[in-house]
Amino acid sequence: MNKYIYFFLIFIIPLPLISQEKVDYFEKLNGKERNVIVNKGTEYPNTGKYNKHFKDGIYHCKACDSPLYISSSKFESNCGWPSFDDEIKGAITRHSDYKLGYKRVEICCAKCGGHLGHVFEGEKLTPKNIRHCVNSISLVFKKKNVK
């Protein structure tokens, strides 16, 4: 009898716990995307396709398609990466990052955990005084009138 209980505990219970979501979201990424989104890399400045991109629409997460930023919050910061001064509520999570020896705030997609970039406050670039510095490769832009 015990043997069957162990079988149940080991093989049956973990199945729903292994969330397919996280695994699948990153599985379809190519090497370059994976380097930024999964391994928290940074694309070279002024190379991303959305750096100078200013159209009406929504920027979604490349990995899981969750909507992250509305185009009206995008602004030209001349920092070399797409910059936003606001996020879609609840779409982004923030984490302390000391990789460069000082504290930065890493931003990730709240749904899949994919790396987006960093957020900087107090630069006085916009009235909201915040800059989400996001890798283009972490994003997919969708026009407003197209679902």
Residues carrying an active site annotation? 133
**Can residue 36 be called a binding residue for Zn ion (CB under 5 A)?**
no
**Can residue 91 be called a binding residue for Zn ion (CB under 5 A)?**
no
**Can residue 109 be called a binding residue for Zn ion (CB under 5 A)?**
yes
DSSP helix/strand/coil, 86: coil
- The H-or-E segment that residue 118 falls in is strand 115-121
Given 64, 91, 92, 130, the residue binding Zn ion (CB under 5 A): 64
Given 36, 61, 92, 134, the residue binding Zn ion (CB under 5 A): 61
Helices and strands per DSSP (H, E), number in the chain: 4, 9
- Name which of 103 and 106 has its Cβ closer to Zn ion: 106
Given 29, 38, 42, 66, the residue binding Zn ion (CB under 5 A): 66
Q: By CB under 5 A, what part of segment 114-133 binds Zn ion? A: 114
For residues 28 and 38, give the distance between their C-alpha atoms in angstroms, rounded to a whole number: 12
The two beta strands, 83-84 and 130-134, are: antiparallel
For residues 119 and 85, give the distance between their C-alpha atoms in angstroms, rounded to a whole number: 9
* Contact positions vs Zn ion (CB under 5 A): 61, 63-64, 66, 109, 111-112, 114
